[in-house]
Amino acid sequence: MTDADVIVVGAGPAGLMLAGELGLAGVRALVLERRTQRGEIPKANGLGGQILELLHYRGLLDRFEAACSGPSHPAPQYPFGGVHVDFSSLPHPPLRGLTLPQPELERLLDERARELGAEVRWGQEIIDVAQDDTTVTAQVRGADGSYQLRARYLVGCDGGRSTVRDGAGIAFPGTTHPEVNRLGQLTLHESVTRHDDGDVDVPGLGRVHAGAFVRTDRGVFGFGWLTPEVMLLSTTEDETTDLADDVPMTLTELQDSIRHVLGAEFPLGEPRRLSRYTFQARQAERYRDGRVFLAGDAAHLFPATGVGLNAGLLDTVNLAWKLAADLHGWAPPALLDTYHRERHFAGARTLKHTQAQVALRRGQDPAAEALRDVFLELFADEQPLRRVGALIAGTDIRYPLPNPNGHPLTGAFAPDLTLHVDRGTTSLAELTRTARPVLLDLADRSDLRETARPWRDRIDVHTAKADDRPADALLVRPDAHVAWAATPDEPEATAVRGLRDALTDWFGAPSR
């Protein structure tokens, strides 16, 4: 007898997202959190990238937008390696953002997880983890003493200093960069004058350009606008002090840092959010050890802002349906191993571009300045601008899946097609809200629908028409990635064989 199907260690965004996804798939999740209550420090100030599209596919984006009193919006500018990448010239920017402080994000994810049957326990610290062929046993310390919990699987979503990762003996190689970054969202001080172009005049300092990074021999100062009323100020200084994440940053600390970097005062208005963080470039050597898995910051840390939450939440969406498939008894033998293969691949891709940002950001000599200037020149052209936007958003990730017919969508996030059906119109996003696999027949292929019949207990089959259809049919996994696609010119026998193989590889043996 087990206490839960899956024990999730950590009630941060990744752990709570995982618990919700497991609940959606009919799995009992028990979340254990070392903290006694939800934190109020906004370690992250919002969401951006591919995860927003996934939330849309789950029918959750409206709920998240309502919590921050505004829709997600294209990011006009985004920091990349010490320069601002300007997407405002593009009619359809490749990167979207949602301003949502982490405490509010955690509240929403906690609410959803509980709605779907998860249990969340606060003040429960994992001491040790042991496993055998069938279960995982967690030694837990709570307010009333130590006790044991058993589950079929355990997932460490317990951050960069993961107890689960260390207990599993999984190496976490990488680099800690000797710098501290401070970030403030503040109203405009009455002594500072704003111009129509967003620049400001600061008494004793002069004109400061919006979107600019000011470099001195003491660090880097950044200035921009989060909204027309709220400034975004940042500093980066080389420091070796190990600052505790749970110690709030004060307005005085930010003011002192700005004064040190600029050598001048920058009057600060009313703070909306203050945060401090360090940069690390690390990735776990493996995301799985038997019945123990890692996700989020326990699996990777990136030396740039705005990508960690996106990657961590996408980890959990990839993992949840695979754990559920195994627990429900229909997973093919190698399905759980694909979690490491796919998300380690995605993490390595994110690590590469964030490490490139370190090289751009930290250089202080004329050669580094020249490199940043060249990058800005490249970003003046649409194709490289879109490419770097996709890099930041994580929308360029295409898992290396078996792809016998070479269809370009295989392994990629499924496009949200507008679908014409008998009752009117719908969308692919609406078909994926239940997190069940979908076979979408776009060319009235009875041969493909008949091939999928033995899997109808675990996949949904839909027939529709789409304008400029990208394929005759798409097999879409619960994480909204395309497992297989039929090309229009593919021989019928080849398409049937390809679909049957994909169904077996991803969704197990056919039912009788």
Same-domain status, 428 and 487: yes
Report which residue type is found at 370.
A
pLDDT of residue 1: 82
Q: Identify whether 408 is part of a domain.
A: no
| CA neighbor of 235 nearest in space, from 215, 249, 208 | 215
427 Cβ neighbours under 8 A, 6+ residues apart: 416, 417, 418, 419
Among 21, 108, 40, smallest CA distance to 68 is for: 108
Q: Of 393, 409, 438, which residue is a domain's last? A: 393
For 315-345, write each residue's pLDDT tens digit: 999 999 999 999 999 999 999 999 999 999 9
Reference 487, options 499, 471, 510; nearest CA is 471
DSSP state of 250: P
**Same domain for 168 and 181?**
no
Same domain as 164, residue 198: no
Give the pLDDT score at 44. 73
According to the model, what pLDDT value does residue 305 have?
A: 82
Residue 259 belongs to a domain: yes
**Chain segment 122-168, per-residue pLDDT in tens:** 999 999 999 999 999 999 999 989 999 999 999 999 999 999 999 99
204 vs 244, more confident: 204
C-alpha 53/C-alpha 420 separation (Å) is 21
Does some domain include residue 326? yes
Residue 86 Cα distances to 64, 81, 89, 197, 376, angstroms: 26, 13, 7, 14, 9
| CATH number of residue 68's parent domain | 3.50.50.60
Closest to 281 measured CA to CA, from 357, 217, 351: 351
- Pair (87, 152) in one structural domain: yes
**Which CATH number does the domain housing residue 257 bear?**
3.30.70.2450
Classify residue 404: in a domain, yes or no. Answer: no
225 in the same domain as 164:
no
Distance of CA 135 to the CA centre of its chain: 29
Among the ranges given (40-44, 310-314, 427-431), the one the predictor scored with the smallest mean pLDDT: 40-44
Average pLDDT, the chain: 92
Same domain, 340 and 212: no
- Pair of tokens at residue 315: 């980890």
Query: Looking at residue 76, what is its pLDDT?
Result: 74
Q: Kindly report the CA angle at 288 between 285 and 291, in degrees rounded to 5?
A: 155
In a domain, 45, yes or no: yes
> How deeply is 475 buried, as exposed, middle or buried, from its count of CB atoms within 10 A (0-12, 13-18, 19+)?
buried
Report yes or no: 389 and 93 within 8 Å, Cβ to Cβ. Answer: yes
- Model confidence at 75, in pLDDT bands (50, 70, 90)? confident
Q: pLDDT tens for residues 364-402?
A: 888 988 999 998 899 889 999 999 999 999 999 999 999
**Percent share of the chain, pLDDT over 90:** 72
Q: Say whether both 357 and 389 belong to one domain.
A: yes
- Regarding whether 353 and 306 lie in a shared domain, the answer is yes
User: Does 340 share its domain with 273?
Assistant: no
Beta carbons of 208 and 200 less than 8 angstroms apart: yes
Last residue of a domain, one of 262, 279, 296: 279
Specify whether the CB–CB gap between 31 and 121 falls below 8 A. Answer: yes
CATH of the domain at 469: 3.40.30.120
Q: How confident is the model at residue 84 (pLDDT cuts 50, 70, 90)?
A: confident
**Which of 345, 415, 308 minimizes the C-alpha distance to 47?**
308
Residue 412: inside a domain: no
The answer to whether residues 96 and 52 touch, using CB atoms and an 8 Å cutoff, is: yes
| Residue 419 tokens, joined | 């679908």
> Which residue range is the domain that position 216 belongs to?
177-279
Q: Has residue 401 been placed in a domain?
A: no
Is the same domain home to 159 and 308?
Answer: yes
Q: According to the model, what pLDDT value does residue 146 have?
A: 95
- Residue 511: Cβ within 10 Å count: 11
Judge if 23 and 145 occupy the same domain.
Answer: yes
Predicted confidence (pLDDT) per residue in 17-31, tens digit = 999 999 999 999 999
CA distance 431 to 444: 17
Residue 402 lies in a domain: no
Least confident of 88-92, 267-271, 308-312: 88-92
pLDDT surpassing 90 at residue 98: no
Domain end marker among 279, 306, 332: 279
pLDDT for 241 equals 67
- Same domain? For 290 and 191 the reply is no
Provide φ and ψ at 19, rounded to 5°. Answer: -60, -40
The predicted pLDDT at position 242 comes to: 64
Q: What is the pLDDT of residue 70?
A: 66
Calpha distance 54→342 (Å, rounded)? 17
Identify the band that residue 199 occupies on the pLDDT scale cut at 50, 70 and 90: very high
Number of structural domains found in the chain:
3
Band the pLDDT of 353: cuts 50, 70, 90.
very high
User: Which tens digit of pLDDT belongs to each residue from 454-476?
Assistant: 999 999 999 999 998 999 999 99
